[in-house]
Amino acid sequence: MDNKDIIIAQKDSIIAEQQATIAKLTKTIETLLKRIQELEDEVARLKKDSNNSSKPPSSDIVKPKTKVRKRTTKKRKRGGQPGHKKHMRKPFTADKIDQTFEYELGGKDLDGLIALDDWYTIQQVTLPEKLYVVTEHKARKYFDSKTGRIIIADLPDEIQKGGLLGGDITAMTAFMKGGCHMSFTTIQQFFKEVMHLDFSRGILNKVTQKVSASLKPAYQQLTERLPDESYLGIDETGHKDNGDKYWTWCFQSPEYLLFHIDKSRGSKVLFDLLGEDNM
């Protein structure tokens, strides 16, 4: 093979290598362009919000950064601030104190000291060891020899209707459920851990329903007063109960608040409670 053939062979080899390199680079560029397009699409999607699309405000992803105000004054120390009037709880009066313990010096500690009719006092509130009283009501049974029947002496109506829990604990249970929004499980745990009383959730639910029934006449009286009020503030808020949507209506008069739960948010509720003449 002469020199001319060698040079031609070398050129063909170089051209083949360059073509392979070009093909490899072309494939890499196509992959990168595809990835760039995917990233641009993702950025465009993330930039969409309720201001530049039909998306609701609740679906906004990109939110503006909140401006952080620079503190212009020194950080305040905890507790009362200089120049502020000191607020202290009023001590319990003598009729509210169950026990008093007095501590005095004695022996050599009294040398050179004159006892004053003045005391340094600390009042402390504690819980008694037992937080409840169990009262047993027994009605004697009698045998009627003429009829063969058993006759039981009468119990007071309030005892007969009260059941296991007395009026005060019944009211406290209803307050924890209604006023404190506690679940029956939490109320059950409170009685067990704090008061050492073991009540089922069924009993707690039963006494709560009993309180609701007792308040029904008073609630009805307030409902009937609504149309006659000179001023009412009205608002409603939605909530769910076992998956069903309900609305809690609030009617505020100068003297009381009344809540009404209804499946409707419409004006029908206002017509039913206030009457058409007041609308």
Tens-place pLDDT, residues 152-168: 999 998 888 888 998 89
**201 within some domain:** yes
Predicted confidence at residue 118, as pLDDT, reads 93
Pairing of strands 244-252, 150-152: unpaired
Q: Is the pTM of this model over 0.85?
A: no
My answer on whether 252 and 207 are in the same domain is no
**150 within some domain:** no
The count of structural domains within the chain is: 2
My answer on whether 200 and 247 are in the same domain is no
**17 within some domain:** no
Which segment of 67-71, 77-81, 259-263 scores lowest on mean pLDDT? 67-71
Predicted confidence at residue 2, as pLDDT, reads 61
My answer on whether 212 and 258 are in the same domain is no
Question: 189, 206, 228 — which closes off a domain?
Answer: 228
Question: What is the token pair recorded at 182?
Answer: 């506690």
Rounded to 10 degrees, the C-alpha dihedral 171/223/241/200 comes to 20
Which residues, at least 6 apart from 121, have a Cβ–Cβ distance to it below 8 Å? Answer: 91
My answer on whether 168 and 223 are in the same domain is yes
Question: What is the token pair recorded at 135?
Answer: 């009262």
**78 within some domain:** no
Does residue 54 have a pLDDT over 70?
Answer: no
Segments forming the whole domain that contains residue 259: 230-279
Does residue 141 have a pLDDT over 80?
Answer: yes
Question: 212, 228, 244 — which closes off a domain?
Answer: 228
**234 within some domain:** yes
Helix-then-strand count for the chain, H and E: 6, 5
**57 within some domain:** no
**204 within some domain:** yes
Cβ contact 139:155 at 8 Å: yes
Predicted confidence at residue 85, as pLDDT, reads 78
**130 within some domain:** no
CA distance 208 to 178: 9
My answer on whether 220 and 234 are in the same domain is no
- Chain mean pLDDT for the chain: 86
My answer on whether 207 and 259 are in the same domain is no
My answer on whether 169 and 199 are in the same domain is yes
Question: 228, 253, 268 — which closes off a domain?
Answer: 228
Q: Dump pLDDT digits (tens) for 213-266.
A: 999 999 999 999 999 988 899 999 998 888 889 999 999 999 999 999 999 888
